[in-house]
Amino acid sequence: MSQTIDMQALGEKIETHSKFIDDIYSELNKVIVGQRYMIDRLLIGLLADGHVLLEGVPGLAKTLTVSSLAKVISTKFQRIQFTPDLLPADLLGTLIYNQKEMEFTVKKGPIFSNIVLADEINRSPAKVQSALLESMQERQVTIGEETFKLDDPFLVLATQNPVEQEGTYNLPEAQVDRFMLKLKIGYPSKEEELLIMRKMARTGEKDELKAVVTPKKILDARKVINEIYVDEKVERYIIDLIFATRNPEDYQLGELKDLIAFGASPRASINLNLAARAHAFMEHRAYVTPEDVRIITSDVLRHRIIPTFEAEAENITTEEIIEKILSNVKVP
């Protein structure tokens, strides 16, 4: 009986704390047409404190969506265009010698923000990629002998273009794993593109966005998300999905054994749990369902399953592997 009362109280708490989600959607709809999938996943990253990698061809409003999100949640925003000649100091900051004071002072770089858009992240070499690692994982930056904590919330949203491969550098596996989600952004539908054309094919002033949420509200929401109930059966379902990427033969998926070189790391199970809770919160629910897990699984696993050469030779994609796993692992 007490469990029911607790769940009822928790449900009311979630209902109260998650009201701002609808405000964010309605405000973003002023400038963004469609792209609900992208907005949903960016909000999951924000609420679950996880970085997001967005892959899609140019012109799909990736940059516009990220900058608009920063405006409606009233946070500091920086866009960094990654280029082959970018240096770690351009990202993190550097020491500058002050002749008057005769000492070095720290000049902080654009990484010192709340939401950082790393545009075309795969255009910069490994030296810059590794500089981003510490800030993404440790939420801190070291310049000279000083270490600085980054502001909270801190979110790296990175874009990469899947078409143009000239002059690009593959992201290190260790860094890719640090992204909670990897999104594949597709073209809009005919109706959506018609609306986009009508809205954007005009000169002059665009619709102005206003802040509807404060950063404190986001941080408070994160604490509430930690309270969302996850049944043990759902937890074991998450573990089964992850283990099916490592030992597919244990789940009647023997045909995948020669197609997966490396399965998902333990970060995948942690992130799948967090993302499922955030999804339940966005649905104004106090508990996680298996459907919350299934909806987000592809985005959590897409960049964590490394296919073999055999899979590539047979044109079997990671998406198809994930689909087979979702179809075969028993849902509680």
pLDDT at site 1: 35
Calculate the alpha carbon distances from 317 to 89, 186, 263, 310, 311 in Å.
37, 16, 14, 11, 7
Candidates 259, 264, 263; CA nearest to 316 is: 259
Instruction: Report the 10 Å Cβ neighbour count for 225.
Output: 21
DSSP code per residue over 43-84: HHHHHTT-EEEEE--TTSSHHHHHHHHHHHTT--EEEEE--T
Give bridge partners of residue 158 from the DSSP assignment.
Answer: 53, 118
Q: Kindly give, in sequence order, each residue whose CB lies less than 8 Å from that of residue 139, ignoring residues fewer than 6 positions away.
A: 149, 150, 152, 154
pLDDT at site 144: 80
| Per-residue confidence in pLDDT tens, the chain, 332 aa | 344 547 888 888 888 888 999 999 989 888 887 788 889 999 999 999 999 999 887 777 788 888 889 999 988 899 998 888 888 889 988 888 888 777 888 888 899 999 999 888 888 887 887 788 778 888 889 888 888 999 888 999 988 877 556 667 777 776 788 899 999 888 888 888 888 787 777 666 666 788 889 889 999 999 999 999 999 999 999 999 999 999 999 999 889 889 998 889 899 999 999 999 999 999 999 999 999 999 999 999 999 998 889 988 888 889 999 999 999 999 98
282 Cα distance to chain centroid: 15
DSSP code per residue over 150-184: PPSS-EEEEEE-SS--TT--PPPHHHHTTEEEEEE
pLDDT at site 2: 40
Domains and CATH numbers, the chain: 19-220 (3.40.50.300), 228-328 (1.10.8.80)
Candidates 264, 91, 64; CA nearest to 179 is: 264
| CA–CA dist 298, 176 (Å, integer) | 15
| CA–CA dist 127, 124 (Å, integer) | 8
Residue 276 phi/psi, 5-degree rounding, is -65, -40
Give bridge partners of residue 148 from the DSSP assignment.
Answer: 141
Stated pTM of the model: 0.88
